[in-house]
Chain A
Amino acid sequence: MTYQPQKDFGTPASNASDTVSLSIDGREISVPAGTSVMRAAAELDNNIPKLCATDNVKSFGSCRLCLIEIEGRKGTPASCTTPVEDGMVVKTQTPHLQKLRKGVMELYISDHPLDCLTCSANNDCELQDQAANVGLRDLRYGYEGANHLGEATDTSNPYFDFDPSKCIACSRCVRACDEVQGTFALTMDGRGFASKISAGLPTDDFLSSECVSCGACVEACPTATLQEKAVTEIGKPDRTEITTCAYCGVGCTFRAEMRGEQLVRMVPWKDGKANRGHSCVKGRFAWGYANHQDRITKPMIRESIDQPWREVSWDEALGHAASEIKRIQKKYGRLSVGGITSSRCTNEETFLVQKLVRAGFGNNNVDTCARVCHSPTGYGLNTTFGTSAGTQDFDSVEESDVILVIGANPTDAHPVFASRMKKRLRGIDGKPPAKLIVIDPRRIDLVKSPHIEASHHLPLQPGTNVAVLTAMAHVIVTEGLADEAFIRERCDWDEYAEWAAFVADDRHAPETLEPVTRVPSEELRAAARLFATGGNGAIYYGLGVTEHSQGSSTVMAIANLAMATGNIGRPGVGVNPLRGQNNVQGACDMGSFPHELSGYRHVSDATTRALFEDDWGVPIDSEPGLRIPNMLDAAVDGEFKALYVQGEDILQSDPNTKHVSAGLAAMECVIVHDLFLNETANYAHIFLPGSTFLEKNGTFTNAERRIQLVNKVMTPVNGMEDWEVTQALANAMGLGWRYSHPSEIMDEIARLTPTFAGVNFARLKEAGSLQWPVNEAAPDGSPIMHVDGFVRGKGQFVVTDYVPTDEKTGPRFPLLLTTGRILSHYNVGAQTRRTENTSWHPEDLLEMHPTDAENRGLKDGDWTRLSSRSGETTLRLTVTERVAPGVVYTTFHHPATQANVVTTDFSDWATNCPEYKVTAVQVAASNGPTDWQEEYEELSEQARRIETVEAAE
């Protein structure tokens, strides 16, 4: 089928449940009340000509093209702004309407270049289509009058151009920026003939403006005014495939628009239930890494890491890997090897890696990058609710009255969901805005941004989450605001009573804890009252909750708060972990943790083991295996000797880089399976080239537990999808696997995992996506969990005592460093650093409060030395009031900075999730890179050498 853009119904769908019947051009139709006549007609495939209307934004009624006639009414109303009424009789095409439309089009075209044949939007242009639809044949006005032709194109954005001479001033881009993205960067400047789209001040271009490059304006533009550079360069796509983004845990679905095997553009899919037609700069534009020159496409081996890499055949690489693992197990024991699954790979790939470890290596030494991000979520929510996952779908936010965001920065890290949250916080569609509480050491963008202001921002001292949440619980219990009816029905009353007595103690009063948390007690009390009494209360949290020495306690404290206020089990409420990577949820579900099999069942459970043992025909070890930090400890001790790492860069992402490198250096065989020679590969002996999400089939599971298909759109440049590589490695070890498609792996997962019992590729394709559990009790999946009761039976209140971290500030290290992400980059930056996203963020920067900077004689842009008890690095300073005095902040996207040289070994008490968010540091002026940075750069250069083979004569 030839290329078709996704159907545009002109105005948004109505959610009303009552329907209205009307007649359009003699055809009857029933639609929800509140639907526009334009949309009702589009449902009948009667596409009324339009320019300023598009179904992602509210109707505007400015282009005067969508006029209709209604029996018994005077005039020609605009169909986009006219709601349907019972018994309405509509005509969309009459001689009168035709004449009006032609007149309107004449005016538009008289100020529009007629370069259709060479225009980048040729044959994919709504203006062109409408000129055709209204039968425009000639212009009475000529082209000589005043016009906007020949204006300069703004090419500053690396992904799209803005050509004002093709603009028809429909303002769809401005409205998309406002309504969909919520950034309010664009505006319609001037009036009448002088109207023009502006990205901010007259001095601003798109790149320097507040534009976040989400692409909503480009998507909304009906002409070539806002056009992807890739379309300009390549041409119009000719086929599309729906697939799922491989960046963050929001899990946006896209139409990959292709020409042959060349990706032309990624367009957000309007039917995607996670993103509802929206996107961010990463998913929409930052896919160029797939074809980056740094991609390694051939397997490589070397004896030791001081040697250059040698390209070999797949057979040689896999045979060598298998024999090394066998040799090492024979020499050092069965438990001396392990593997790490990737939260960036598919469920099927992750499942195979843990199967390889459990069935092939014969132990449970498998872990995943969730160890360093959301392992406390698994522990905390499993303990309190009985399931290791968030309770809601993203749509739920539309029903929330109070939104509590703690330790998360959604506008940077989960931008598409943030846009949906911001929509609710602006209160459009007649609903009053939801109230917002932000608990974060930094004044994140959500605290105050256009048309949004948090009711309460509690800028706590890093490391005091449990103290703040306990103080909030204190207020709720002592002021009688707890929802006792809910608690009596859903939870164990005795456990609640014990918890309530604990939090009610005076030592947990906000006033008592204020010196520790540094949160003004009155503000905290007001926030607690608002959350308990403000209607539907929803909690959203991120790694600022989990990456602490009390990460698991904080997750349980959040769960306690939700149960105490009755905010579980219906739309608009719940506990919502915002997952970091695209498939963190899935990797955890698939049995990537060393203590549990898929579906969160402990390896000590004989019944579960028997299920797998019967299916796989091998015994499963009943003892938990090593977690990543424990693997590294064991390696330094000489007891852990080989590691297979799929799609994770532990050297850059894990804390205390020096300890990680010591562990890796102590191993005899490190197998890295990745797209690039990442930092971990500096210590590897075998490199297996990986494939991108564009080159594979499978599924990802997002933060809503939503399982979505990933569809292959191009052939893997390395020759194999990642699941095929793992299968080939397993078979080199003699396991005899015979999967011919990932759907067969999913069938095995469904067979062995009760919460996935009803999942298969055919159903996923049919339904678009499914939220687990999908089983007999919930055949269509579970958008909201714990509806009629908690999965574990009764919700469990857990006493969470505040235990301060052992990472203390003092005279040598007086500041607290906390780390995080920025919008344009993703995790260690392996992908985004290989795209034009570096235009926004070429290096990691250190944020510091003006007072702290002045005390140190530092100014904006200075090179500074950041040191902790673990190590030191240098980076440039940004002076900003976003951070409180005493707190500094940086990102960890760039290997040259290696922010994790500075972070420590401290970790969550229950899961060993590292304490990235609290490191005592000192900052001073610097005149150059640290010794570590210089040594590491030298090592990287050495370690990345690839032997060039002389061509045969």
Chain B
Amino acid sequence: MNTLDHLVYMANQIARNFGTRDRDAAAEAVAGHILRYWDPRMKRRIIAYVADGAGSDLSDVAALAVSMVAEKAQPDHAATGA
């Protein structure tokens, strides 16, 4: 698995583990998890993947979660990594 595939896999896997919650609550939990545990570049890659319109391999909940992450992530930090 390359890194992007791995990130997509991880996001979907987290979403599956919150599968008993309703869509919004699950997405909220997944987004919270990603914000808390993923490093800035991992967030940036998955956000870009969705922004590019190529996010089709993400489950519905995972995709919604990534859009929530995009709103909350620290843009400066994530963008530069410098």
Contact = CB atoms under 8 A, between A and B. Distances in A.
Interface of A: 333-335, 364-365, 502, 549-550, 553, 594-595, 602, 604, 622-627, 630, 633-634, 636-637, 639, 799, 801, 803, 905, 909-912
B17 A594 contact: no
Nearest to A639: B41
A799 B18 CA distance: 9
A553 B17 CA distance: 8
Contacts of A364: 39
A380 to B, nearest CB: 12
A633 B36 contact: no
A803 B16 contact: yes
B68 interface: no
A623 B74 contact: yes
B82 A333 contact: yes
A550 B18 CA distance: 12
Contacts of A910: 14, 17, 33, 37
Interface residues of B, number: 25
A637 B45 CA distance: 12
15 contacts: A602-B36, A622-B74, A623-B39, A623-B40, A623-B77, A623-B78, A624-B37, A624-B38, A626-B39, A637-B3, A799-B20, A801-B19, A909-B10, A910-B37, A911-B37
Interface in B57-77: 74, 77
Contacts of A630: 38-39, 42
B53 to A, nearest CB: 22
B13 A549 contact: yes
A595 B40 contact: no
B43 to A, nearest CB: 8
Given A630-B38, A911-B37, 6 more contacts: A364-B39, A549-B13, A630-B42, A637-B3, A803-B13, A912-B10
B19 to A, nearest CB: 6
B54 interface: no
Contacts of B78: 623
Contacts of A594: 39
A626 B45 CA distance: 14
A637 B17 CA distance: 28
A333 to B, nearest CB: 5
A911 B37 CA distance: 8
Nearest to A632: B3
Given A623-B40, A625-B39, A803-B19, A334 B1 contact: no
A549 B14 CA distance: 10
Nearest to A635: B3
Given A623-B74, A626-B39, A502 B17 contact: no
A908 to B, nearest CB: 9
A633 B82 CA distance: 19
B17 A335 contact: no
A593 B29 CA distance: 21
A636 B4 CA distance: 12
A643 to B, nearest CB: 15
Contacts of A622: 74, 77
Contacts of A627: 37
B6 A624 contact: no
Given A624-B37, A801-B20, A905 B74 contact: no
Interface of B: 1-3, 6, 10, 13-14, 16-17, 19-20, 33, 36-42, 74, 77-78, 80-82
10 closest Cβ pairs, A-B complex: A633-B3, A909-B13, A909-B17, A335-B81, A626-B39, A801-B20, A623-B40, A803-B16, A799-B20, A637-B3
B59 to A, nearest CB: 12
A552 to B, nearest CB: 8
Given A333-B82, A334-B82, A803-B19, A909 B39 contact: no
Given A622-B74, A633-B6, A335 B39 contact: yes
B58 to A, nearest CB: 15
Contacts of A624: 36-39
Contacts of B13: 549, 803, 909
Contacts of B37: 595, 624, 627, 910-911
A833 to B, nearest CB: 32
B39 A334 contact: no
B48 to A, nearest CB: 13
A806 to B, nearest CB: 8
A648 B41 CA distance: 25
A549 B80 CA distance: 32
A912 B42 CA distance: 14
Given A604-B36, A624-B36, A335 B41 contact: yes
A365 B39 contact: yes
Nearest to A908: B13
A747 B14 CA distance: 39
Given A595-B36, A622-B74, A909 B20 contact: no
A364 B20 CA distance: 33
Contact of B40 (A335, A602, A633, A637): A335
B27 to A, nearest CB: 15
Contacts of A634: 3, 41
A553 B82 CA distance: 35
B17 A801 contact: yes
B1 A905 contact: yes
A1 B30 CA distance: 62
Nearest to A365: B39
Contacts of B80: 333
A624 B32 CA distance: 13
Contacts of A595: 36-37
Q: Which of B1, B13, B40 has the most CB of A within 10 A?
A: B13
A634 B40 CA distance: 12
Given A335-B39, A624-B38, A909 B14 contact: yes
B29 to A, nearest CB: 11
Nearest to B1: A905
Contacts of B77: 622-623
B39 A333 contact: no
A693 B78 CA distance: 41
B54 to A, nearest CB: 17
B82 A909 contact: no
A909 B74 contact: no
Q: Which of A335, A364, A549, A602 has the most CB of B within 10 A?
A: A335
Q: Which of A625, A639, A909 has the most CB of B within 10 A?
A: A909
B80 to A, nearest CB: 8
A594 B36 CA distance: 10
B16 A909 contact: yes
Contact of A550 (B17, B20, B39, B82): B17
A333 B40 CA distance: 13
B69 to A, nearest CB: 12
B1 to A, nearest CB: 6
A619 B46 CA distance: 27
Contacts of A905: 1, 6
A333 B39 CA distance: 14
A801 B21 CA distance: 10
A11 to B, nearest CB: 54
A950 B3 CA distance: 47
A751 B38 CA distance: 29
A919 to B, nearest CB: 15
Contacts of B19: 801, 803
Contacts of B41: 335, 626, 634, 639
A263 to B, nearest CB: 43
Contacts of B2: 636
A595 B10 CA distance: 17
Contacts of B6: 633, 905
B82 A502 contact: no
Contacts of B17: 550, 553, 801, 803, 909-910
Contacts of B20: 502, 799, 801
Contacts of A911: 37
Nearest to B21: A799
Nearest to B77: A623
A564 B39 CA distance: 36
Nearest to B16: A803
Nearest to A626: B39
